[in-house]
Chain A
């Protein structure tokens, strides 16, 4: 009896291993394909009719970063730097906004609290694209279109609306802590900085992470704001531009290399922070 039970378990586990292995293969193979072909040596700047490249070279990456193989309007290093700068600034602003809003709504009590939460919820339900045109002309009126400042504003202005998850996290911290600190003579400001924030590492990391990744992935708003000013492009618009009919013939392999250059750092960052992400999402998500 026991033996057959054990046997059954082994069979079940083997089956699971096989299923998981096949699924992982399906999930990973597109990225392996991307990685391999970004090093492809032969076959010109086009897709090829076989899966595994025959020769490998670093030339695609060298071309990408030196701007060779085309004209100077493809300036990947510059775009990378732009995106990094925008990501850093908008990350700082977004994180401050999200933490400030979610902390206030979670742990402070004031008259307009419920109303603000409802307004936040309602605003979040309109499709984001609706406001883009108006946003463009507002930024234009301030003389900011075609600049990186505009992008920083765009990526961080609405951050405060994404308070739900971190509010959920703050809700889980016992209120007794605040009360004890108040008795010890601390004001709300001190409680926030000295007590709550140090306890909230997972959610801070989660917020920083999502805010930092945003600018690397948006290509619609950024394209509208930057228009023809190529030197202010971010990697996302640049890479998307490379796939348009006008460029794809000359830049296909550079495009693959560029995609790898964007995907690898973000993936590494993400995987290293995965633990906090899971903690943040589950703590915030289940309660909220």
Chain B
């Protein structure tokens, strides 16, 4: 379609066109994604190559202080009169050395084996006493910590060399190094991002990135209740079990079953919330409907009440003799129909969960849609009215396409959110109805609740849980990347229209 043809379409047709294009674009987006990955890898290695080159070149060109900086941090800076920075560099090396000698090395040396000494018992004549052996989990955790610290030290090391060489060049040009006060000023202006971001980034590194690396490593071990204190590297075994469909491995059966339901769940939950929420939002915001804010407020209460209150309440109300059945009984001559909403019928339970999810999710859609509806430019309506368009026409030609267009990116965020929608499943059905076909999961469990069951619930299999987490990540990341690529092209078109 040419640009002119595109321009002649009405907004709704444009949306349909874009919508179709979105799906036809998926293969090419994937292609682009893969080639981008390829380019990234190439860039990474050329980067490393360049790094090595610079490393050598600097050494050759450096004076004695710069050369000494290759061994002792900060000498270059100290020699050039940048005292405080030199001291900091030097201190970091000393601290790192102390850390490695007194703590780090003790754990890292066991990293390849994850420990070999088993726990044993010794009698003292009265009772047996446990003599703890190696603890693989701690070895892995502290090794990861040590690796992260080493990586940081490496960055500091490179910075130290660069800094030494920079100051050498500055001295050769007759410039003086900046003073502490000047540097401090710079942190409020040119380097303000460092001032602002160092604290959050530090927190994220310690409490998000470090644990994440640890858990990713766990996916390659057999850490589970059978191997609690001492466990081993097992390579890709956990992933293998999840995809071992040929031998109908129980874990594979569970994974396929749950992944299937997770996708059904995410699609239904996303679209039901989106469409129904949009309908309600349109009703509330229709011209001539009074008490707009009251209606909105009543719906929004569901968002405000914490989910563990509202969903646990829902769980109790949906029991066989809970409030919902009692209420239905009122239409049944006071006879409680005793429907087992969350009982052992798989699809009854699944539909119940999806319906309750509407109750939870629609208000969110109403809120964001209301905001968008109020933001539709008035002049669009104005010109429509001058053209003599009927209200129905105005709606189909302006309101609807505008809303769909603006909110499509949100759909994807919600889709990813629903794949990870832990609360609704965990609090409402607890994963039930239970089944013997699955390993540590029930018929309404989705991938994240299964992950929870395997790591903090009844069935301890941390290795498998981590593998599932990685797979969830891959699913979400792929989806987001496709959408990201697509929506960028959509945005471009929006720009020239």
Whether a CB of chain B sits under 8 angstroms from the CB of A188 is: yes
Q: Report chain A residues within 8 Å CB of B288.
A: 9, 13
Q: How far is the CA of A27 from the CA of B189 in the complex (A)?
A: 51
User: Which A residues, 137 to 158, have Cβ-Cβ distances below 8 Å to chain B?
Assistant: 137-138, 141, 153-154, 156-158
Contact B209 A123 (CB under 8 A): yes
**CB-CB contacts of A192-203 with B at 8 A, as 1s and 0s?**
100000000000
Determine if B489 is an interface residue (Cβ-Cβ < 8 Å): no
The CA of A30 and the CA of B455, in the complex, are separated in Å by 33
B207 at the interface (CB under 8 A from A): yes
Q: Mark B296-317, 1 if CB is under 8 A from A, else 0.
A: 1111111111111110111011
B278 interface residue, CB < 8 Å from A?
no
State A30–B323 Cα separation when bound (angstroms). 9
Q: Are A160 and B370 in contact (CB under 8 A)?
A: no
A72 at the interface (CB under 8 A from B): no
Contact with B along A201-243 (1 / 0, CB 8 A): 0000000000001001101100010000000000010011001
**How does the 8 Å CB contact mask read for B415-454 relative to A, with 1 for contact and 0 for none?**
0100010100000000000000000000000011001100
A78 CA to B370 CA, complexed, in Å: 39
Instruction: Please state if B473 and A129 are interface contacts (CB–CB under 8 Å).
Output: no
**B211 lies within 8 A of A189 (CB):** no
Docked-complex contact B302 and A27, CB < 8 angstroms? yes
| Minimum C-beta distance from A193 to chain B (A) | 10
A135, CB-defined interface residue at 8 Å: yes
Q: Is the interface of A mostly helix, strand, loop or mixed?
A: helix
Complex Cα gap A19–B469 (Å): 42
Which chain B residues border A116 with CB–CB below 8 Å? 197, 201
- Quick check: A263 and B305 within 8 Å, CB to CB? yes
Total contacts A to B, CB within 8 angstroms? 242
Within 8 Å of chain A (Cβ to Cβ): is B212? yes
With beta carbons under 8 angstroms apart, the residue of B209, B296, B313 that contacts A30 is: B313
A residues less than 8 Å from B208 (CB atoms): 123, 131, 157-158, 161
Given known contacts A161-B208, A189-B189, A129 and B371 CB-to-CB distance under 8 angstroms: no
Task: Among A130, A263, A282, find the residue whose CB has the most chain B CB atoms closer than 10 A.
Answer: A130
Residues of B297-344 at the interface with A, using a CB-CB cut-off of 8 Å, are 297-310, 312-314, 316-317, 319, 321-323, 326-327, 336
Which residue of A159, A161, A187 is within 8 Å of B188 (Cβ)? A187
Decide if B215 is an interface residue (CB 8 Å cutoff).
yes
Do residues B298 and A27 form an inter-chain contact, with CB atoms below 8 A? Answer: yes
Q: Which of B185, B191, B207, B298 contacts A138 (CB 8 A)?
A: B207
A123 touches B204 (CB 8 A): yes
Q: Is the CB of B299 within 8 A of A24?
A: yes
Number of interface residues of B (CB under 8 A): 89
Give the residue among A113, A159, A259 with the most B Cβ atoms within 10 A.
A259
Beta-carbon contact of B314 and A30 below 8 Å: yes
Query: In the complex, which residue of chain A has the Cβ closest to the Cβ of B369?
Result: A282
Q: Do residues A240 and B312 form an inter-chain contact, with CB atoms below 8 A?
A: yes
Q: When the two chains form their complex, are residues A135 and B313 in contact, meaning their CB atoms are under 8 A apart?
A: no
- With contacts A30-B314, A125-B476, A133-B215 taken as known, whether A239 is within 8 angstroms of B196 at the C-beta atoms is no
A286 near B196 with CB under 8 A, answer no
- Distance between Cα atoms of A20 and B288 in the complex (Å): 14
Distance between A112 CB and nearest chain B CB, rounded to angstroms:
9
> Hey, which chain A residues are within 8 Å of B286, CB to CB?
13, 16
* Distance A110 CA – B209 CA, assembled complex (angstroms): 22
A131 touches B455 (CB 8 A): no
Residues A271 and B304 in contact in the complex (CB < 8 Å), given A16-B289, A127-B472: yes
| B323 and A278 contact, CB distance less than 8 A | no
Q: Is the CB of B313 within 8 A of A157?
A: no
Q: Are A279 and B371 in contact (CB under 8 A)?
A: yes
Q: Assuming the A-B contacts A27-B299, A49-B336, A126-B473, are A236 and B306 also in contact, with contact meaning beta carbons closer than 8 angstroms in the complex? A: yes
Q: From A113, which residue of chain B is reached at the shortest CB distance? A: B193
**Across-interface contacts of B127 in A (CB, < 8 A):** none
Kindly provide the distance from the CB of A7 to the nearest chain B CB, expressed in whole angstroms: 13
CB distance from B433 to the nearest CB of A (A): 19
Q: Does A134 contact B (CB under 8 A)?
A: yes
- Cα distance A47–B466 in the bound complex, in angstroms: 40
Shortest beta-carbon distance from B414 to chain A in Å: 11
CB distance from A86 to the nearest CB of B (A): 14
Chain B residues within 8 Å of A236, by CB: 306, 308
Please measure, in the bound complex, the distance between the C-alpha atom of A188 and the C-alpha atom of B192, giving whole angstroms. Answer: 7
Interface residues in B437-485 by Cβ distance below 8 A to A read: 447-448, 451-452, 455-456, 462, 465-466, 469, 472-473, 476-477, 480
Contact between B416 and A125 (Cβ–Cβ < 8 Å)?
A: yes
Residue picked from B190, B296, B473, most chain A C-beta under 10 Å: B473
Query: Are A134's CB and B283's CB within 8 A?
Result: no
User: Within 8 Å of chain A (Cβ to Cβ): is B372?
Assistant: yes
**CA A121 to CA B476, docked complex, whole Å:** 11
A19 touches B283 (CB 8 A): yes
| Known interface pairs A16-B289, A51-B327, A274-B297; A263-B309 also in contact (CB < 8 Å) | yes
User: Are B192 and A160 in contact, CB atoms less than 8 angstroms apart?
Assistant: no
Chain B hits for A213, CB < 8 A: 306
List 30 A–B pairs whose Cβ atoms lie within 8 Å, in order of A's numbering.
Answer: A17-B289, A20-B295, A27-B301, A96-B199, A101-B196, A108-B193, A113-B193, A121-B480, A123-B208, A125-B477, A127-B448, A127-B451, A130-B211, A131-B207, A131-B212, A133-B455, A134-B212, A157-B204, A158-B207, A160-B201, A192-B196, A236-B306, A262-B309, A263-B305, A267-B304, A270-B300, A270-B303, A277-B367, A278-B367, A278-B368
In the complex, given contacts A137-B137, A158-B204, A188-B189, what are 15 additional A-B residue pairs having Cβ atoms less than 8 angstroms apart?
A: A20-B289, A33-B313, A47-B321, A51-B326, A101-B197, A110-B191, A126-B473, A127-B473, A153-B207, A157-B208, A189-B189, A239-B308, A271-B300, A278-B368, A281-B368
- Nearest 10 pairs of A and B residues by beta carbon: A282-B371, A160-B200, A134-B211, A270-B304, A131-B211, A157-B207, A188-B192, A130-B469, A100-B196, A187-B189
